[in-house]
Amino acid sequence: MVTLSDVAKEANVSKMTVSRVINHPEQVTPELKKLVIQAMEELDYHPNSVAQALVNNRSNVVEFVTLEDIDTTEPYYMNLLFGFAKGLAKKQYALQLVTDRTKIEQSNADGYLITGARNGDYELFDQLKKPFVLFGENHRGFDFVDTDNKAGTRMATEYALSRLYKHIIFVGIDLKEPFEYSREAGYINTLQKRQLIPQIYRVSNHSHSAQSLIKKMYQDFKKDTCFVCASDRIAVGIIRELENQGAKVPDDFGVIGFDGVFLDQVSSPKLTTIRQSIFKMGDLLAGMLLQKIAQSGSPQGEVLIEPTLVRRGSTR
Amino acid sequence: MVTLSDVAKEANVSKMTVSRVINHPEQVTPELKKLVIQAMEELDYHPNSVAQALVNNRSNVVEFVTLEDIDTTEPYYMNLLFGFAKGLAKKQYALQLVTDRTKIEQSNADGYLITGARNGDYELFDQLKKPFVLFGENHRGFDFVDTDNKAGTRMATEYALSRLYKHIIFVGIDLKEPFEYSREAGYINTLQKRQLIPQIYRVSNHSHSAQSLIKKMYQDFKKDTCFVCASDRIAVGIIRELENQGAKVPDDFGVIGFDGVFLDQVSSPKLTTIRQSIFKMGDLLAGMLLQKIAQSGSPQGEVLIEPTLVRRGSTR
């Protein structure tokens, strides 16, 4: 591989001069520029992002930080990560994965994407010195990208009503976090518009918790009910226990999930779900973070991405 | 942040001199070294991996390449990636994700981890100019790390026999790839030792394909059979259809999966499975690749990691 050193030798100038021609051509005399460019052409040299990074005092590396335990993370993080990597590739950026919050500032990364943040983490953010963006809505003024959670459950609830289910129950995640409040609000608002009374249960985000809920409450649920769920994991657990109880999905009960990554496809019946555009959000987050780095940390705002309704066998 | 430039200014030397002190102190006079180190101490400067990379003609970035479609990739890639990232972090390396095989050599990465390779991809590898290692066994002499697939299915088959299932059937993945041959061999060898006759079916690696197989063949399967599967996806599909047919798992039929990431835990009953140490393999692959880079591409050999049997509700 041809290196910056080779170009410097060929042009008989210092490496720093070659760097300057690449990164700050305005600081170099036309003669010197011509000399270096000629050498680059002769050697078929393409400017190396490392040299550029050094001159710009950048590492061209950012961190992808997950504050959730990776054992409990959904497969959708994989999609987020690939989308993020795609966005980084446009600017020749690389990434480091960080799962230990105490190690966030130990590398020389130029900035951070932080995922899986909870209310208790905001104190940590105030101490960070480098630019960062969040995956997940918050109301503290930190830049973020998230799914329009409210729109998602509104779509799910409206679809359930359009399939003529008489009762619509929301099964949420028992976390006091903005995304959960938004998902509940989308459901509540839609029912209230029709003068229907909301009914909400909350479980931990595991199929087995949702299964336990149905087991305990099955006698209270009337046929012709559709469960609008805050995750596909919850939806899968509900279907499983409804079938254990001898009920028919989607005829007796409908179930609508939320996420639309992996689990919705391996379940049976396949899930009607609200699909988040996770890959796209990852790509957007990369663009937002790199822009923030280029603009020395200036605010980038909040971006909500519309999810899509995927109609399948768990609703009639 | 204190930069290499600041140190150069403070010591009144060029950036390259500072770099040389950091990376090749043997090339610098003791006086110059003292001067630079003093400046570094005064400014509390810690050598930046970017400067080191430039001097070593390295980018300190490697690629994580997936040749499989990411929509069909199992959640276990996430674990592999986090393990790989952990291994890279030990040497301050960052990574780029590449899913398009035509883009492998377009970055200035120092080397590649390639996952999801199939027989048809080996021609591509012969053309690569940078060091690379593979995740997944091959018999072409390319360095790799993989699960000891043969040991895995041997463990599964022996466990099925120990639970007193009378018939042991293997349901594999219909791919003519080394990992699949090894999984079949582990099953076949174990049965032959007991003078039992192997019986193998192959389906595509989707729960719905496994489900179809059971639907079509159910009448031929005797109770007291244990299905040893080449993946958790296949195991999940088999359980689903056995239950549809009114059979009881694990009493009438046992089912043992392979992989042990995510799906084994969300299925019901939870799967008895052969768990691959995926995170650990990712970590090892990082070490292997960085060593190969440091040794200018010299061979690193083949590493097989023993999987573990996880006993749960899908076997009696």
Q: Which of A206-215, A282-291, B8-17 has the lowest mean pLDDT?
A: B8-17
Once rounded to an integer, what is the mean pLDDT over residues A28-33?
83
- Whether A274 shows a pLDDT value over 60: the answer reads yes
Domain ranges of chain B: 4-55, 61-146+278-305, 149-276
- Is B85 close to A97, i.e. CB distance below 8 A? yes
Residue A170 carries which DSSP code?
A: E
- Is A54 close to B59, i.e. CB distance below 8 A? no
Q: Which of A10-24, A180-194, A213-227, A298-312 has the lowest mean pLDDT?
A: A10-24
pLDDT value at residue A38:
82
Once rounded to an integer, what is the mean pLDDT over residues A280-291?
96
- What residues of A are in contact with residue B85 (Cβ under 8 Å)? 96-97
- What residues of B are in contact with residue A51 (Cβ under 8 Å)? 54
Burial B197-214 (b: 16+ CB within 10 A, else e): eeeebbbebbbbbbbebb
Please report, as a single letter, which amino acid is at residue B77: Y
- Is B78 close to A79, i.e. CB distance below 8 A? no
C-alpha–C-alpha distance, residues B171 and B192, integer Å: 17
pLDDT value at residue A74:
63
Could you tell me which CATH number the domain at B149-276 has?
A: 3.40.50.2300
Residue of B nearest to A77 (CA): B78
- Is A50 close to B89, i.e. CB distance below 8 A? no
- B48 in A contact zone (CB under 8 Å): yes
Name residues of chain B where pLDDT drops below 70. Answer: 1, 23, 25-26, 46-56, 70-74
Distance set, CA A282 to CA A24, A65, A169, A289 (Å) = 31, 13, 31, 11
Bridge-based pairing state of the strands B272-275 and B308-310: antiparallel
Please report, as a single letter, which amino acid is at residue B133: V
Q: Across the A/B interface, how many CB contacts are shorter than 8 Å? A: 121
- Is B59 close to A51, i.e. CB distance below 8 A? no
Average pLDDT of every residue of chain A: 91
Q: Which of A29-43, A219-233, B19-33, B187-201 has the lowest mean pLDDT?
A: B19-33
- Whether A46 shows a pLDDT value over 70: the answer reads no
Q: Which of A9, A46, A54 to mutate to test the interface with B (most CBs of B within 10 A)?
A: A54
pLDDT value at residue A73:
56
Cβ contacts of B69-74, under 8 Å, gap ≥ 24 = B70/A78, B70/A79, B70/A82, B70/B99, B73/A78, B73/B116, B74/B231, B74/B233, B74/B259, B74/B261, B74/B262, B74/B263
- What residues of A are in contact with residue B92 (Cβ under 8 Å)? 107-108
Helix extents (H) in chain A: 4-11, 15-23, 30-43, 49-55, 76-89, 122-127, 149-162, 178-193, 207-217, 232-244, 263-266, 278-294
B246: left (phi over 0), alpha (psi -120 to 50) or beta: left
C-alpha–C-alpha distance, residues A66 and A74, integer Å: 12
Chain A closest CA to B187's CA: distance in Å?
26
Nearby residues of A30 by Cβ (< 8 Å), 6 or more positions away: none
- Whether A290 shows a pLDDT value over 80: the answer reads yes
C-alpha–C-alpha distance, residues B298 and B288, integer Å: 11
Range 224-243 of B in CB contact (< 8 A) with A: 233, 236, 240
C-alpha–C-alpha distance, residues B88 and B111, integer Å: 12
Residue A87 in contact with residue A282, Cβ under 8 Å?
Answer: yes
Distance set, CA A273 to CA A54, A166, A209, A257 (Å) = 47, 19, 19, 4
CB-CB neighbours of B166 under 10 Å = 12
- B209 in A contact zone (CB under 8 Å): no
- B7 in A contact zone (CB under 8 Å): no
Nearby residues of A166 by Cβ (< 8 Å), 6 or more positions away: A222, A224, A225
Per-residue pLDDT tens digits for B219-278: 999 999 999 999 999 999 999 999 999 999 999 999 999 999 888 888 889 999 999 999
Nearby residues of A265 by Cβ (< 8 Å), 6 or more positions away: A271
Q: What angle do CA A85, A94, B276 make, to 5 degrees?
A: 70
Nearby residues of B147 by Cβ (< 8 Å), 6 or more positions away: B179, B276, B277, B281, B304, B305, B306, B307
C-alpha–C-alpha distance, residues A115 and A129, integer Å: 17
- Whether A113 shows a pLDDT value over 90: the answer reads yes
Chain A closest CA to B94's CA: distance in Å?
5
- A78 in B contact zone (CB under 8 Å): yes
- A207 in B contact zone (CB under 8 Å): yes
- B94 in A contact zone (CB under 8 Å): yes
pLDDT value at residue A252:
97
- Is B78 close to A70, i.e. CB distance below 8 A? yes
Backbone angles phi, psi at A247, to 5 degrees: -80, 160
Instruction: Measure CA A213 to chain center.
Output: 29
Bridge-based pairing state of the strands A225-229 and A200-203: unpaired
Range 149-168 of A in CB contact (< 8 A) with B: none
pLDDT value at residue B224:
96
pLDDT value at residue A71:
62
pLDDT value at residue B194:
96
Chain A closest CA to B267's CA: distance in Å?
9
Residue of A nearest to B108 (CA): A48
- Is A207 close to B268, i.e. CB distance below 8 A? yes
Once rounded to an integer, what is the mean pLDDT over residues A195-207?
96
Range 246-285 of B in CB contact (< 8 A) with A: 262-263, 266, 268
Q: Which of B93, B95, B263 lies closest to A266 in CB terms? A: B263
- B51 in A contact zone (CB under 8 Å): yes
Range 119-138 of B in CB contact (< 8 A) with A: 129
Helix extents (H) in A90-148: 122-127
Sorting pLDDT into bands at 50, 70 and 90, what band is A35?
confident
Residue B77 in contact with residue B30, Cβ under 8 Å?
Answer: no
Q: Which of A20, A50, A261 to mutate to test the interface with B (most CBs of B within 10 A)?
A: A50
pLDDT value at residue A47:
62
DSSP element (H, E) containing A64: strand A61-66
Please report, as a single letter, which amino acid is at residue B258: F
Residue A221 carries which DSSP code?
A: P
Nearby residues of A115 by Cβ (< 8 Å), 6 or more positions away: A64, A65, A66, A67, A68, A77, A80, A134, A135, A136
Structure-token match 């969300």, residue found: B266
- What residues of B are in contact with residue A233 (Cβ under 8 Å)? 266
Instruction: Measure CA B262 to chain center.
Output: 15
C-alpha–C-alpha distance, residues A283 and A303, integer Å: 12
Structure-token match 């995304």, residue found: A179
- How many residues appear in chain A? 316
Q: Which CATH class is domain A61-147+278-305?
A: alpha beta
C-alpha–C-alpha distance, residues A227 and B220, integer Å: 39
C-alpha–C-alpha distance, residues A276 and A135, integer Å: 13
Could you tell me which CATH number the domain at A149-275 has?
A: 3.40.50.2300
- Is A78 close to B73, i.e. CB distance below 8 A? yes
Per-residue pLDDT tens digits for A114-128: 999 998 898 899 889
CATH superfamily of this structure's domain B61-146+278-305? Response regulator (3.40.50.2300)
- Whether A57 shows a pLDDT value over 80: the answer reads no
Residue A226 in contact with residue A174, Cβ under 8 Å?
Answer: no
Residue of B nearest to A246 (CA): B244
- B107 in A contact zone (CB under 8 Å): yes
Q: Comparing A61-147+278-305 with A149-275, is the CATH topology the same?
A: yes
**From the candidate CATH numbers 3.40.50.10470, 1.10.260.40, 3.40.50.2300, 1.20.1050.10, the one assigned to the domain spanning A4-55:** 1.10.260.40
